[in-house]
Structure formats: structure tokens, C-alpha cells
Structure 1
Amino acid sequence: MELIRRLRVRDVRCYEDASITLGDRLTVIYGANGAGKTNLLEALYFGCTGRSCRTSNDREFIRFGQGAARVEFELEGDAGSHTLAVGFEPGQPRHVTADGGPVDRLVDVPFRPLACVFLPDRLDLIKGAPSLRRDHLDQLVAGLWPARASVRRDYGAALAQRNALLSRIRNHGVDPSELDTWDLELGRHAIALRLERERAVALVGEPAQEIATELGLPGGLELRYRPRSTAEDPAAFAAELLERRSSDLERGFTGHGPHRDELLLSREGRELRVYGSQGEQRVALLSLLLAEREVLAAERGQTPLLLLDDVMSELDADRRARLVERITAAGQSVVTTTELEHVPGGEAAGVARVTVERGVVGQELAA
């Protein structure tokens, strides 16, 4: 398993040039609110994935007044030491180098660390629109089985083609029977996508329930994938589309299929999106991410780097202790907090501790 030994950031958010060393298991970054702790988590995530975990506008990732940002890792694993760097300049592809050589895509780097991240802002995953949960589920599928990452893209391409044909039929008098071929094609990809999602939810459901109970969510956590279609073959899916063809033509887009499916997170039969308190939603999100981390470790043979931002603030002392015990059992974890004592065992030997004050890494305490 690859461990990130050192992170260096240049012109990232509030940092001109900063470096931190990570512990083998736990790293605690602490300081006042607004000091820049989350920016370091974001940089770690960016180095693992090539994208921000906080914004869709990557320009915000670059320090104000600068034209580019860069994240560098020093890694150590069973096969030896490696370096990995990801640079970003607006309007340009990511500039990725591995062991000093250029790489076309970050996902092609064999020693690229996997990452899971908890941010308070990610509560939208629980209480936001279904599309957020579908996207998250599809990212999990791609993480679990990289060879299947194209399933979502293939479905999206077929859906776009069918929607374009619906538009031509409405506006230019094209024969509606031309939809028959695309209905079968869409059905082929729809069934593949639904099966992969169901498979992922089945893997994550049990550990998520266990972790939620351990972290004190009353009634535990239930995950349920609710598909619009349960068709077993493309012909059956095409028949479902045919029943809805007139309404699709009226609206000008396809209203049936996996792009309308839902991932439900419930407690005692009630959707947390509607009936859960913010505290319950936070525990549910944390449980889901921890379960996904465990499943990814089992499937990929590599425990993802876990990034937890301000996770301790709404947990009592007992649940904090349970959480730290679980996350330090395997892999690396980085936790931000305003006070070191909020992290049980944060002062123990083997823990890397980093202080941050007003955007400056003031002191790094030896692990």
C-alpha cells in the first residue's frame, strides 16, 4: 500500500509554499477557524484525484493573484519510493508527473493513492437532489471497478443521442419509429448501469449499517437503491420507453431510466433527507464514507486516504473515541480540528501533528 509521506503545495488557496509530513496512520491538523486547515485537505484530495472536493470552479483552488497551482506528494510503498505531482493552470489540462516523467492521465499512475473525504458542506449528498447521490454512486462504481467506469459514460452518450432524436422528431417531422433502435441501445446500457449500482449498494449497505450503529445513529442506517426500471433485458426496457414515448415527445427529453433513479438513506424506515436532524445526517454521511472506504480497501487491496474536516465538533467523547479507533485500524487518515484534545489519542506517539495559523504551517511536531 502506498503511503503519502510528504505533501507540498505551491500557490494553493492561502498557501504560497508549504509542506507537511503525514503519519503512518493518523495526522491531526489543528488551528483556529479560518486558519487554512481545510485547504490542506483539499490539496491532498486534489493530488489524489486531480479535482477539488470543495468547488467546481478550479480557479478558486489557485492562490489569489497567481496563474497556476501545484501539489506534490512523496510516497512510499512496497515497491519503493515515488513522487507524484499535479499542476493546474486555468484553460490547460492537468500537468501530471510521476517519478519525474510526464503522464497523460492521473488515473493511469499505478501508485496514485485513493481518497475519501468528509466535509460539512457534503451534507448536500444526504439532503440535496437525487442527482448528487447518483453521481456519488457512479463514482463509487468507478472506484471499485475501474474497468467499469465507462458504463455511466456509455449510458450518458446513448441518452444524449435519444434526446437529440426526440428533438428532431418534434421539430422536423422525423419518423418516431427511428427511436426503436436507440431504445434498445439505451436499454442495453441502462441495465448494465443499474446492475453495477445495485452491486455497489449491496456491498456498502451492511458495513454502513454497522458503522452508523457504532457511531450512535438511532436505528442505524439503511441504504436502498430505487431504480425507475427493473427490466431484465434491453427489449423489456425498450417496451417501457415505448409506453412513455408520447410523453417524451411532448417534453422533448427522456423521462425514464437510470438518470432518474434514487439512492435512499433511511433510519427506521424514514428518509434522513426529510426527517433526519443535521446531527443524524452528519453521522449517516460519515458512516457511508467509512463503509465505502472499507469496501474499496477490500476490492482494490488499497485502503484509501481518509480526509475528515471538522468531524469531531458534533460527536460526543465516546463516539470520537470509537471513530478514531476505527479510522486508525488501517490506512492513513488526516483529521482537522480547532483543538488537539478533540481528537482522542491525538497526542500519542506515532501521530503526526501539524499546527496552522493564519494560512501558515507554523510548526510540524514529529510523529
Structure 2
Amino acid sequence: MSAHLSRLRVRDLRTYVAADVVLGPGLTVVAGPNGAGKTNLLEAAYLACTGRSFRAASDADLVRRGAEAGNVAAEVATPAGPSVFSVGLEPGGQRTRRLRVDGNPVDSLLDHPARPRMSVFLPDRMVLVKGGPALRRSHLDQLLAVLRPGAAPLRRSFHEALRQRNALLSSLRARGADVAAAARELGPWDRTVAEAAAALTAARAGTTQAINPAVQARAEELGLSGVLEIAYRPRSSADPDEVLAALQERHGGDLERGFTHHGPHRDDLAVRRDGRLITRFGSQGEQRMALLALLLGETDVIEDATGQRPVLLLDDVMSELDAERRARLVALIRGRGQALVTVTEAAHVPGAEDPDVGRIDVVPGAAESVRVAAGGD
């Protein structure tokens, strides 16, 4: 059994004065009109289990207007027994986020073994498909850290070496150093950056290869025509000697700019269908399907690697899908762990009336669980 949320209590968070909902381990439909607070409920679940929001938000933004403090707590069912994760928010206090597990203060929730992992679909996350490469690099590195915890330091090591090399380049440029003099001082950092860059590039390439079969399978099951491919586009080699040679060849250009222009900090992921970028040759609905295939495929790979299936938080996922693709999506997520899906009308989720599907109706300022089901796994 994967860890899942069994209950969520919210006080003075966003639009909520208070909410207390019971959750089953399967599919739960969160229904309500626009502006009622459905996304806020998903945000509360994410906040309780990670200590952070999935939206750019300060504590002052999170605490309900007019309230001095807020709190969210999630009861989590795990194979080892229940745990309670909570986050207290007090914008005026010295420590704005008070994190606790089973009542005990902790510095972070992210590394706790009982914490359920989360996979989030938001309309804003379409930037993973349509936005700039920095977002896709960050997403890939987060996935790498989950699939290969031992590789998590690779990104930090590379960026620390890059920061040091860039600081030296800026200093050399300010001093008016020529290329020959710069090369002598850059030598040790060239080697350090090259080794860190090659290791990170190889790890990213391996992660991309690992998720591609699952992503392609989910795209087909969702009804996306053609072959969907997540293609890693590195700007440097996975061979440290080749990266070193490339850095040395670019001494002049880097000195002129004052920063390093070559390396994995410029990598990208291309989302292609039949070899063509889906951002250029796909409709909005097809791009949404590609993002769903990516997230669902990653969820499968994470479960295979860790033995724990992430909780799916799917916000406004049905709005641009036709009836057939809605049915395909529900067929993919039902019976495969916990999923919370927000919709303006419950009828937008095929099978929402079935007894094994949980239901939360949300009205402005409050959430009421009108049907709580076991939510079959």
C-alpha cells in the first residue's frame, strides 16, 4: 500500500476559515464553482505534506485575510501506520512556517520516510511544455533526485563549481586580463566544472531514457496520436575531457561575457510528437495531453523505483478534454493510488457517481465532504 492522505484539516488558509475532509485511498472528485476554493484545497494538501506551496506564495498570501495565523494538517496512512504532518503559518512570527510530524518539530518534511510524494497538474504547469528551458531543467533535476537519491548532489556540485568559475571570469574581466592570463587562472576551475558537468549530463540523460517508455505508453492510452518523445538536448558532453576541451576553446568568449556559456546550465528537454515539437505543431488540447502523459509516466517510474505511488493532485484537468479523453484519463488513474481531481461539475468526471469514488463539494469559504468512499485501489 502506498502512503495516502486519510484526512485533511485546514484553518485560516486562503479562502478557508475551516475545513475538515476525509479522504479515501482512491479517486476523489472535488467539485464546485469557479472561485469556490478547490485549488486552495489541493494546495493545502500539498503544503501539509511538503511544507511549501505549489504556487509562488508567501506566508502572508497563504493565511486568510483578516487572520493572524493559519494551519493545515494531513493525516497520512502508511504501511507502517498513521502519521500526522502539519504546517503552521504565522507571518508576523520569527519562524513563519512551523513544521511538525506527529507533533514533533522538524526542519523539513521532504525527507521524512512517511511523507507521501505528490504529482501536481495545474493549468499553470503547461509552462513545462510551452515555457523556457530553465523550468524543464529544474523539473528533470527534481525527478533525478527522486529516482536516484545518491545523484541529488550532482546539481549542487555543478552549480557551485559554475558559480566559482563565473566569479573568477567576472574578476578577470574587471581586471582587463588577456586570454592567456585568464587561461592560467581558469585552469583548475575548468577541470572542476568539466567533471561536475559531465556527471550531471550523464545522470540527466539516464533519467530521460528511464521515463520515455512510460510517457509514451501513457500518451497512447490517453489517445494522443503519434509517438510522444521526451528528448534530452544537452549543450555539453558526458565525457569530462570533451567538456574540458570545449571550455578551454571558449576562454575568449567567456572572458568577454564574464560568465560561462557552455555546459548543462543551458540544457533543455524537447517534447516531440513524431519528431516535431508539440509546442509548434500541437493544439492546446494535445499539449495538455502531452503534459498529462509526462506526469503520469513519471508517476509510474517513481512507483517502480521507490515502491510508493505519488498522490495525484489534478486541478482543472478536464476542462479542455473531450468526453472520450476524460474517460481515458479516469481509466488511467482509478485503481492506481490516490488522486484528487477538481472540476466545476462532478459530471465532468466519468464514473463520479460510482460508490468507490469519493466526493467533496466545495462552496465559497467552506468545504463539506458529502460522500466519503473507500476509493478502491
For 1:307, the aligned partner's letter is L
Contact kept, 8 Å, 1:210 with 1:220, in 2: the verdict is no
Matching of residue 98 in structure 1 with residue 104 in structure 2: no
The alignment's C-alpha RMSD in Å is 1.6
C-alpha distance in structure 1 between counterparts of 2:368 and 2:21, whole Å: 10
Match of 2:141 in 1: 138
Match of 1:325 in 2: 331
Deviations 1:71-95 (A, max 9, x none): 2111122211111112234473632
Deviations 1:191-222 (A, max 9, x none): 11111111111111111111112212221311
The correspondence for 1:156, drawn from 159, 173, 183, is 159
The correspondence for 2:119, drawn from 116, 121, 136, is 116
Match of 1:246 in 2: 252
**Alpha-carbon distance change, 337 to 258 in structure 1, aligned in 2, over 3 angstroms:** same
Between 118-127 and 58-67, report the one with greater CA deviation: 58-67
User: What is the CA-CA distance between 1:53 and the residue it aligns to?
Assistant: 1.2
Q: TM-score, normalized by length of structure 2?
A: 0.93
Deviations 1:28-49 (A, max 9, x none): 1001111110111111112222
Deviations 1:225-265 (A, max 9, x none): 010112412x3211110111111111111111000001000
Contact kept, 8 Å, 1:52 with 1:58, in 2: the verdict is no
User: What is the CA-CA distance between 1:56 and the residue it aligns to?
Assistant: 4.9
Alignment: residue pair count: 366
For 2:203, the aligned partner's letter is E
Matches within 5 A, 1:206-245: 206-233=213-240, 235-245=241-251
C-alpha distance in structure 2 between counterparts of 1:365 and 1:99, whole Å: 27
Identity of aligned residues (%): 51
Partner SS, residue 314 of structure 1:
coil
**Alpha-carbon distance change, 58 to 140 in structure 1, aligned in 2, over 3 angstroms:** farther
**Alpha-carbon distance change, 282 to 172 in structure 1, aligned in 2, over 3 angstroms:** same
Matching of residue 190 in structure 1 with residue 197 in structure 2: yes
Matches within 5 A, 1:199-348: 199-233=206-240, 235-348=241-354
Deviations 1:251-289 (A, max 9, x none): 111111000001000112211223322111100011100
Unaligned runs of 5+ in 1: none
C-alpha distance in structure 2 between counterparts of 1:348 and 1:67, whole Å: 41
Deviations 1:273-320 (A, max 9, x none): 233221111000111000011111111110000010111122222221
Which of structure 1's runs of 4+ aligned residues deviate more than 4 A? none
Contact kept, 8 Å, 1:127 with 1:274, in 2: the verdict is no
Contact kept, 8 Å, 2:14 with 2:63, in 1: the verdict is yes
Match of 1:79 in 2: 80
**Alpha-carbon distance change, 32 to 74 in structure 1, aligned in 2, over 3 angstroms:** same
Match of 1:9 in 2: 10
Matching of residue 32 in structure 1 with residue 55 in structure 2: no
Contact kept, 8 Å, 2:59 with 2:96, in 1: the verdict is no
Q: TM-score, normalized by length of structure 1?
A: 0.95
The correspondence for 2:359, drawn from 353, 359, 364, is 353
Match of 2:131 in 1: 128
Match of 1:54 in 2: 55
C-alpha distance in structure 2 between counterparts of 1:88 and 1:243, whole Å: 51
C-alpha distance in structure 1 between counterparts of 2:96 and 2:115, whole Å: 18
For 2:136, the aligned partner's letter is R
Partner SS, residue 107 of structure 1:
coil
User: What is the CA-CA distance between 1:363 and the residue it aligns to?
Assistant: 4.1
Partner SS, residue 87 of structure 1:
strand
Contact kept, 8 Å, 1:194 with 1:227, in 2: the verdict is yes
Partner SS, residue 218 of structure 1:
coil
For 2:226, the aligned partner's letter is G
C-alpha distance in structure 2 between counterparts of 1:92 and 1:361, whole Å: 29
Contact kept, 8 Å, 2:299 with 2:309, in 1: the verdict is yes
Unaligned runs of 5+ in 2: none
C-alpha distance in structure 2 between counterparts of 1:4 and 1:74, whole Å: 6
For 2:356, the aligned partner's letter is G
Match of 2:69 in 1: 68
For 1:124, the aligned partner's letter is V
**Alpha-carbon distance change, 44 to 149 in structure 1, aligned in 2, over 3 angstroms:** same
Partner SS, residue 95 of structure 1:
strand
For 1:320, the aligned partner's letter is R
For 2:63, the aligned partner's letter is I
**Alpha-carbon distance change, 147 to 70 in structure 1, aligned in 2, over 3 angstroms:** farther
**Alpha-carbon distance change, 231 to 31 in structure 1, aligned in 2, over 3 angstroms:** closer
Contact kept, 8 Å, 2:30 with 2:360, in 1: the verdict is yes
C-alpha distance in structure 2 between counterparts of 1:303 and 1:39, whole Å: 23
